[in-house]
């Protein structure tokens, strides 16, 4: 649908490298001048300190976020480089501002007044005050200087790590024979060397995942896996230095570990509680995982025997995707390629948006040519409205195909946060889905595997959270909630991709538009938790590795921990291969340090919400409205546990989560 209404102007996306640098420099100067002014306030109050600071900051924050977003998506390397450099400058400045004792004193003075405030304003004051305390303002001056230096070092390491990943161009060359089994539509998109005829597999998802999933030769899968795990090896040293710095910073601030520092502000509160949650889940999943491994071994033995090859009684980590797919094909009759024909990306997006229109009372209107403002020709842009009131909601962008230098995974970026300005006017959010699905070919559109449909729905869930949230302050807008709750709304929406009616609604064959058959839907639904034990044990490896790193003093041997824990927890054999997947485990240097457990933790809340409110009727608009009001609209403006209790009418429980995983004979407990 093309918009016939007149939305507010979208951001322009034509900044030059020089404008990015100048824009950040101008913001830094104005923000510093404001801090100087506020710090000299003779009679500090909530209005002349907190509101003055926050109103000014959030008015500029959208442009800053936009300028720093370019390094994830721009096709121009000079623009990406300028954006990365600007982020380094801005991070250093932010550290300087966070360490201003004069600002801490006026904020502390306001806090001690115990002013009578609205709940969101009180939460804002409490959070800002705690920020200064956690930034070390209660430390003696010489320790504050040391802390500032350590934080700048850490920030530089994180930026370099991310840049190494974003700019990575490593690859593996394979012959056509070595790629036997990989769908022709995938191989045809691999660059071909004219002289040798070999094909280049990059480590972007649309390249490496199909090779791991379909390549018949174990050696091809091994080379693909090891190459992917050992890319960006310079990041190994960067992560090691970061872990040591984090431990040193935590100790300086009086915390036992970095994880203790991080989790103080999370729902879990302590590393001990997070470890307890993860280890309890590991114990409950271990038997299922072992049984699944045994089943895959039988498949492998049968295949090797049929080919007259020596029997190899192991499931190597590079075998997992391949034999998981063989299991789905042979016992569940799941043909991922055939299923993908029913999910051309354009159709799927339109129908996903249709679900959100019905469930949440929204309207998505593709921007007309005079409204269109994008950073790349591949992007799609939508104005989002509430049709009942003709109220504008915000801008939604899709950037869905890989290109050189682009962010390499799937994520939602909340570029401009929503808020209410000083005059009481609403400032609208701008949010973007940045993914890496296969590109269309001359004969076929981009077709989504079912797992990619789930991924797209998940990331769109984050986007919807950012769009429909309405908070007074941008600090609490949308996904700006506790990191161990942020995934719950999107994980809850993944259930729609497994409900028969909704799955049929999302589908439309790329040739004739025909809906996917009930038979295929039944097979997909039955396959949902095939090898679910192994899938979640893999997640547990990531989460436990992360917490182990960040409860150490930094002297831990990271390579040993990564490899030994993977084999021990995931139950997959890695033979004699020592790999360094933590060099590309971007979460560890992108805000999820000591927080990866949150993916599994928040799934408990996601399952509880879905089973309680939507299991009986996924398109129940009453439940949709209740969910919006209780969870999405308030964002982080109140405690997340309070929001859950309001929606559920009780304490959340892990009962639905255990039921969903098929874990029987285990008592549920509150979370």
Catalytic residues, by residue number, are 459
Q: Helix axis angle, 532-550 relative to 234-252, nearest 10°?
A: 60
- DSSP H/E element including 390: none
For the CA atoms of the chain, what is the radius of gyration? 25
The neighbour count for residue 78, using CB atoms within 10 Å, is 12
- Which of the 8 DSSP states describes residue 8? P
CA distances from 618 to 354, 358, 360, 469, 623 (A): 14, 11, 12, 21, 9
Q: What's the count of helices (H) and strands (E) in the chain, helices before strands? A: 25, 10
| Lateral strand order in the sheet of 171-174 | 171-174, 199-202, 191-192
Cα–Cα nearest to 497, from 536, 460, 446: 460
Cα–Cα distance between 414 and 66 in angstroms, integer?
9
Cα–Cα distance between 65 and 47 in angstroms, integer?
25
Q: Which two tokens stand for residue 521?
A: 């839907």
DSSP string, 452-471: HHHHHHHHHHHHHHHHH---
Cα–Cα distance between 432 and 446 in angstroms, integer?
19
Report the SS3 class of residue 365.
Answer: strand
Burial bucket for residue 436 (CB in 10 Å: 0-12, 13-18, 19+): buried
- DSSP H/E element including 608: helix 598-609
Cα–Cα distance between 627 and 542 in angstroms, integer?
30
Q: Helix axis angle, 17-39 relative to 52-73, nearest 10°?
A: 160
Cα–Cα nearest to 154, from 550, 556, 596: 550
With b for 16 or more beta-carbon neighbours within 10 A and e for fewer, the 98-108 pattern comes to bbbeebbebbb
Cα–Cα distance between 221 and 475 in angstroms, integer?
45
- Which of the 8 DSSP states describes residue 397? E
Cα–Cα distance between 480 and 58 in angstroms, integer?
14
Cα–Cα distance between 386 and 574 in angstroms, integer?
52
């Amino acid at each position: 649908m093309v918009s016939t209404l007149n939305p507010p102007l979208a951001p322009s996306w034509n900044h030059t490298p020089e404008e990015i640098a100048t824009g950040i420099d101008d913001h830094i100067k104005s923000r510093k001048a404001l801090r100087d002014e506020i710090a000299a306030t003779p009679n500090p109050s909530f209005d002349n300190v907190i509101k003055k600071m926050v109103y000014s900051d959030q008015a500029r924050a959208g442009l800053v976020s936009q300028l720093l977003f370019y390094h994830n998506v721009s096709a121009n390397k000079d623009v990406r480089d300028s954006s990365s450099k600007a982020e380094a400058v801005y991070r250093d400045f932010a550290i300087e501002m966070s360490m201003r004792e004069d600002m801490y004193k006026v904020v502390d003075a306001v806090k001690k007044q115990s002013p009578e405030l609205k709940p969101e304003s009180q939460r804002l004051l409490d959070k800002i005050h705690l920020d200064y305390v956690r930034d070390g303002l209660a430390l003696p001056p010489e320790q504050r200087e040391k802390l500032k230096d350590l934080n700048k070092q850490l920030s530089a390491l994180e930026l370099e790590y991310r840049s190494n990943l974003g700019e990575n161009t490593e690859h593996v060359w394979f012959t056509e024979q070595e790629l036997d089994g990989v769908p022709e539509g995938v191989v045809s998109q691999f660059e071909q060397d004219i002289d040798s005829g070999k094909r280049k597999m990059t480590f972007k998802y649309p390249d490496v995942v199909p090779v791991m999933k379909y390549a018949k030769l174990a050696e091809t899968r091994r080379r693909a896996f090891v190459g992917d795990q050992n890319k960006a090896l310079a990041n190994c040293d960067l992560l090691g230095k970061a872990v040591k710095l984090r431990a040193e910073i935590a100790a300086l601030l009086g915390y036992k570990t970095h994880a203790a520092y991080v989790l103080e502000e999370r729902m879990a509160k302590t590393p001990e509680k997070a470890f307890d949650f993860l280890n309890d889940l590991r114990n409950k999943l271990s038997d299922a995982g072992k049984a699944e491994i045994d089943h895959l071994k039988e498949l492998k033995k049968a295949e090797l025997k049929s080919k007259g090859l020596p029997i190899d009684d192991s499931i190597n980590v590079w075998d997992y995707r391949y034999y998981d797919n063989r299991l789905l094909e042979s016992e569940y009759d799941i043909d991922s390629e055939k299923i993908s024909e029913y999910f051309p990306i354009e159709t799927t997006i339109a129908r996903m948006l249709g679900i959100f229109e019905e469930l949440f009372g929204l309207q998505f209107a593709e921007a007309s040519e005079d409204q269109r403002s994008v950073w790349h020709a591949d992007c799609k842009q939508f104005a989002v409205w509430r049709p009942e009131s003709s109220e504008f909601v915000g801008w939604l962008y899709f950037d869905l195909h890989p290109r050189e230098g682009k962010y390499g995974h799937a994520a939602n970026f909340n570029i401009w946060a929503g808020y209410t300005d000083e005059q009481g006017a609403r400032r609208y959010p701008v949010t973007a889905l940045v993914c890496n699905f296969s590109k269309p070919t001359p004969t076929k559109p981009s077709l989504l595997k079912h797992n990619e449909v789930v991924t797209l729905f998940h990331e769109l869930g984050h986007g919807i959270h950012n769009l429909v949230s309405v908070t007074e302050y941008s600090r609490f807008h949308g996904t700006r909630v506790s990191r161990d709750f942020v995934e719950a709304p999107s994980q809850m929406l993944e259930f729609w991709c497994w409900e028969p009616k909704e799955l049929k609604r999302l589908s439309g064959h790329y040739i004739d538009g025909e809906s996917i058959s009930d038979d295929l839907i039944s097979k997909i639904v039955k396959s949902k938790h095939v090898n679910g034990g192994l899938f979640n044990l893999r997640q547990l490896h990531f989460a436990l590795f992360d917490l182990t790193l960040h409860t150490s003093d930094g002297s831990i041997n990271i390579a040993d921990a990564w490899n030994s824990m993977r084999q021990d927890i995931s139950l997959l054999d890695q033979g004699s291969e020592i790999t360094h997947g933590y060099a590309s485990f971007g979460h560890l240097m992108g805000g999820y340090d000591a927080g990866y457990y949150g993916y599994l933790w928040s799934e408990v809340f996601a399952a509880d919400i879905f089973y309680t409110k939507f299991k009986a009727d996924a398109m129940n608009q009453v439940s949709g409205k209740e969910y919006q009001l209780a969870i999405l609209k308030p964002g982080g403006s109140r405690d997340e546990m309070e929001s859950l209790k309001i929606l559920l009418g009780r304490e959340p429980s892990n009962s639905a989560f255990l039921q969903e995983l098929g874990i029987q004979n285990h008592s549920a407990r509150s979370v």
